[in-house]
Structure formats: C-alpha cells, structure tokens
Amino acid sequence: MKLDFDTLNIVLLALMLASAVWAVVTSRLLMAAVGLALTSVVLTLVLFILKAPMAAVFELSVCAGLITVVFISVISLTKSVNDIEAHEIKMKRIKRFIFLPVFLVLAGWLLSVKALHLGSHEALPAESATMQEVLWFTRRFDLIGQILVILAGVFGVIVLFKTKHSVDGETKQ
C-alpha cells in the first residue's frame, strides 16, 4: 500500500495533533513528557518531508532528545501529591489563570494581523541568501514562535524550581 503525499501529510498531522493533545491533557507528568517527545518525533518527520533536514535534525536532537531528558530528570526530582492536594493545586491554578484564554485569543489575533507585515519582504534568491538574511527577512514569523517556545520553557523551569516560603519562615522545595 503506497500513501500519496496528501494522505501522508494528513496522517502525520493527525499523529502530531493526537500526541500533542495527549501531552497536554494527561495528568501524569512522565506521560506528558513522552507525549511531547512523540510530538517532536512526528514534527521531525514532517520537516524531513518538507526538505528541511537541518531543522529536522535540530528538532530530533534537541527537542525530542535533550529536552525530554531534562523534563524526565526534573520530574524525577519532584515529589508526588495525593488527590486532595492535586485538586487544591488545580483550583488555585484555574483561579490564577482565568484570564489566559482571553489573552491567548488577543495575542493570536495580534500576531495574525502583524503576520501580514512580517512576511511582506520578497523572497531572496537562493544563491545569494545568507543565513542571517533568510532568518531576519523571510522567516521573521518563525523566529517569534521560537522565541515564545524558549520563553515558555524558561518560565516552566522557573515554576518547577521555585521555592515556597511557609508561614514560619522556613524555605521548602
């Protein structure tokens, strides 16, 4: 059975979407890390199909490899909580981030409006384009996405390693 190009793209998109949703909705951190690694592996396949081998190798080695190892290491350093504590933490998080959906919709709208201006430069001829010209003139919108992913990772690590101060002044990890 031979898959045509469109069917292959649909299958890969469905796999990537399913693994990303699994990574987000699972309640176990280890399974979320595995889901994120699987999403990265599928994205690597997509990048190879799109003839971007350097991006695919970077995605596979850094995102599917290194980041997964870092996540699993951090997960092994955290303590588990019981169901009651988990419910309390979830309710606090919901209260703290109730504004987030509105913020994301506004940010998405702003980025979609600005995307028209970010990609307005003409494509550079392949033989004269340097890496800097390609990144800053034809791939600006991709850079914004990469910056947002890096910031999300930094803030995630900050939240994981944040110390909590108890009422009596002792510091808890």
Residue 52 lies in a domain: yes
Residue 167 lies in a domain: no
Residue 70 lies in a domain: yes
State the Cα–Cα distance between residues 112 and 104, nearest whole angstrom: 12
Arithmetic mean of pLDDT, 137-149: 72
Residue 140 lies in a domain: no
User: Is residue 115 scored above 70 in pLDDT?
Assistant: no
Whether 24 and 32 have beta carbons less than 8 Å apart is answered as yes
State the Cα–Cα distance between residues 64 and 44, nearest whole angstrom: 9
Arithmetic mean of pLDDT, 141-166: 70
C-alpha pair distances (Å), 135 with each of 50, 125, 138: 17, 14, 6
Residue 55 lies in a domain: yes
State the Cα–Cα distance between residues 35 and 42, nearest whole angstrom: 11
Whole-prediction pTM value?
Answer: 0.51
Token look-up 């919901």 returns: 94
Mean pLDDT (the chain, rounded): 77
Q: How many separate domains does the chain show?
A: 1
DSSP 50: T
**Residue percentage of the chain with pLDDT more than 90:** 7
Which residue type, as a one-letter code, is found at position 67? I
State the Cα–Cα distance between residues 137 and 148, nearest whole angstrom: 19
User: Is residue 15 scored above 90 in pLDDT?
Assistant: yes
Torsion (CA) 23, 28, 29, 35 in degrees, nearest 10: -30
Give the pLDDT confidence of 71-89 residue by residue, as tens digits: 888 887 777 777 788 788 8
Residue 135 lies in a domain: no
Residue 8 lies in a domain: yes
* pLDDT score of 123: 54
State the Cα–Cα distance between residues 93 and 95, nearest whole angstrom: 5
Token look-up 């419910």 returns: 87
Give the pLDDT confidence of 33-68 residue by residue, as tens digits: 899 999 999 999 998 888 888 888 888 888 888 888
Residues with Cβ within 8 Å of 135's Cβ and at least 6 positions away in sequence, in order, are 143
- Residue 48's domain comprises 1-78
Token look-up 């909580």 returns: 81
